[in-house]
A and B are shown apart, each in its own frame.
Chain A
Amino acid sequence: TQLLEQSPQFLSIQEGENLTVYCNSSSVFSSLQWYRQEPGEGPVLLVTVVTGGEVKKLKRLTFQFGDARKDSSLHITAAQPGDTGLYLCAPRASGGGADGLTFGKGTHLIIQP
């Protein structure tokens, strides 16, 4: 069983600040996905990272996959109230292509105007 840790669990910051959320494990993953969930909705995929060291940008969001493919980070620049939500990482182990995803415990992010 993989041990998956997300940190911080809760984060409340002011609009315009920067923040980084982390997803760490002792296991190696073939890929990792980040989802964002807003209240009353299901999670929505933000990005999939596949290659060790890969960096992907989605507007003000920057996602990085660790070189060893055991960890990932999500950095938000100049956070806005619309970024508020639950951020979930979901790694996929090798050969787990058609399995349901296991999600981290998530980071509850609140951006105060």
Chain B
Amino acid sequence: SAVISQKPSRDICQRGTSLTIQCQVDSQVTMMFWYRQQPGQSLTLIATANQGSEATYESGFVIDKFPISRPNLTFSTLTVSNMSPEDSSIYLCSALGARDEKLFFGSGTQLSVL
């Protein structure tokens, strides 16, 4: 199993600013992902964080808005840039377990943009 620590757990930000969310896994994992979960909704995949290369973004998400870093096999960051109230959401980091393709999740970052 993998334990994922995500921070901050919540934040309130002003429009036009940026927030960087950090995700730390307690073991080396091959795949890490970032999801967004809008209030009362399911999870939407933002991107796959690739170690040592540019992230792979899903349709509707772009690098300029959601730059992602993954410098090693246990750590990744997601930045929400130039925020607007529409970015208010929960952002979740996840990692794919090596054996059974089980996804482990952090507790999420609840972001509110004023």
Residues of A with Cβ closer than 8 Å to B? 31, 33, 35, 40-45, 48, 86, 88, 90, 92, 97-106, 108
B113 at the interface (CB under 8 A from A): no
Residue from A35, A48, A90 within 8 A of B100 (CB atoms):
A48
Whether B31 lies near A98 (C-beta < 8 A) is yes
Known interface pairs A45-B102, A48-B100. Does A101 touch B42 (Cβ–Cβ under 8 Å)? Answer: no
A82 to B33 Cα, complex, angstroms: 28
**Dominant secondary structure of chain B at its interface with chain A:** strand
CB-contacts of B1-17 with A (<8 A): 4
Whether B108 lies near A98 (C-beta < 8 A) is no
CB-contacts of B40-73 with A (<8 A): 40-45, 48, 58
Whether A99 lies near B48 (C-beta < 8 A) is yes
Whether B45 lies near A102 (C-beta < 8 A) is yes
Tell me the smallest distance from the CB of A3 to a CB of chain B, in Å.
14
- List 16 A-B residue pairs with CB atoms under 8 Å apart, sorted by A's residue number: A33-B102, A33-B103, A41-B108, A42-B104, A42-B105, A42-B106, A43-B43, A43-B105, A44-B105, A88-B42, A90-B103, A97-B101, A100-B35, A100-B45, A101-B45, A103-B42
| Residues in chain A near residue B76, CB distance under 8 A | none
Nearest B residue (CB) for A43: B105
B: number of interface residues (CB 8 Å): 25
Tell me the smallest distance from the CB of B26 to a CB of chain A, in Å.
15
A41 to B94 Cα, complex, angstroms: 12
Known interface pairs A42-B92, A106-B42. Does A48 touch B102 (Cβ–Cβ under 8 Å)? Answer: yes
B107 at the interface (CB under 8 A from A): yes
Whether B4 lies near A42 (C-beta < 8 A) is yes
Q: B19-47 CB contact bits vs A (8 Å, 1 = yes)?
A: 00000000000110101000011111100
Whether A45 lies near B48 (C-beta < 8 A) is no
Closest CB pairs A-B (n = 5): A42-B105, A100-B33, A100-B45, A106-B42, A103-B43
Residue from B31, B96, B107 within 8 A of A42 (CB atoms):
B107
